[in-house]
Amino acid sequence: MKPCAFAVACAAATFVVVACADARPRRESLKDRMAKQPSVAPAPAPASASAPTVLEPVAAFCTDTSEAAAMRCADGVATRSSDTVIIRLSNVGAAKRVDQPTEGGTYRRYYYAGRFGGDNGTPAFHILDVRNTQGGAIELINAATGDSLVVRGVPNLSPDGARFTAVAEPETCELATQLEVWRVTGDKPVREYSLEPFDCVANRGWGPADVRWRSRDTISLVRTALPANAERRANGERDSTRALLVRVAGQWKLDTTAVARLPRTPP
């Protein structure tokens, strides 16, 4: 995870981008990756003029690149005392995370990055950007109970706030991007779907990219694969096709039937 840059999506649906830095060089951080995500917008009106217009509610999601600004999203329940992030729980007690600044395997720093949920009957979760010598992770803490969950990628909420995607991009394998879909529940989110199509050992397959919610039941993505031609591979070119991930009868299904060929990605 690298330094931070993220967009704030609060009730007014305005976006603020602020820069922050870390003294230690690392992979792209939570805030850098979230800055690249599109804002959640209401679903478009049906094409038929006679059909009723249905707009999906935008889920509450408030965060910022600077920890102090992100804590304002928490309405005063998240604070920092020296090396400790303190999150006051709405039920009882508090959740605390203490930095371990010593170099080595125990190195760890916590950055409060905001919260989501708490509307439309969904529970609220605090977001922590956790960094270590290997890169980092995202920890979600239930605002009421303190139950926590570490996910492999940045949460990207569905329009109704009932689910989120998390896309992990480890550095150990060039295209080993994993896509997960989580359902938000009262205590800890439940993983509904996991997709890791690239085989690092055989160095073949494809990885999901440009993952976006189209609606509460549809996710669009780009399938990115290494080309068969060795020269193109050496030049850093990629083959890309579009696909949809659709939830039908409670199950997520990958739909590639309407795949459209994309222009080749330049090196």
Read off the pLDDT of residues 141-190 as tens digits, 9 standing for 90 and up.
999 999 999 987 778 999 888 999 988 765 556 555 688 999 998 888 99
Share of the chain above pLDDT 90, in %: 30
Share of the chain above pLDDT 70, in %: 69
Query: What is the 8-class DSSP label of residue 107?
Result: -
Most confident range, picked from 117-121, 132-136, 161-165, 186-190: 161-165
Instruction: Report yes or no: 180 and 197 within 8 Å, Cβ to Cβ.
Output: no
pLDDT at 125 over 70: yes
CA distances from 226 to 49, 104, 173, 241 (A): 44, 35, 12, 12
Give the pLDDT confidence score for residue 177 in this predicted structure. Answer: 64
Give the pLDDT confidence score for residue 152 in this predicted structure. Answer: 77
Mean pLDDT of 247-267: 70
Give the pLDDT confidence score for residue 84 in this predicted structure. Answer: 96
Give the pLDDT confidence score for residue 25 in this predicted structure. Answer: 38
What is the pLDDT confidence band of residue 27, given thresholds at 50, 70 and 90?
very low
Give the pLDDT confidence score for residue 170 in this predicted structure. Answer: 56
Instruction: Indicate the pTM of the whole model.
Output: 0.69
H helix or E strand, kind and range, residue 72:
helix 67-72
Mean pLDDT of 72-95: 92
Is 121 or 5 the better-scoring residue by pLDDT? 121
Residue 91 buriedness (CB in 10 A; 0-12 / 13-18 / 19+): exposed
H helix or E strand, kind and range, residue 56:
none
pLDDT at 267 over 90: no
Give the pLDDT confidence score for residue 171 in this predicted structure. Answer: 53
What is the pLDDT confidence band of residue 92, given thresholds at 50, 70 and 90?
confident
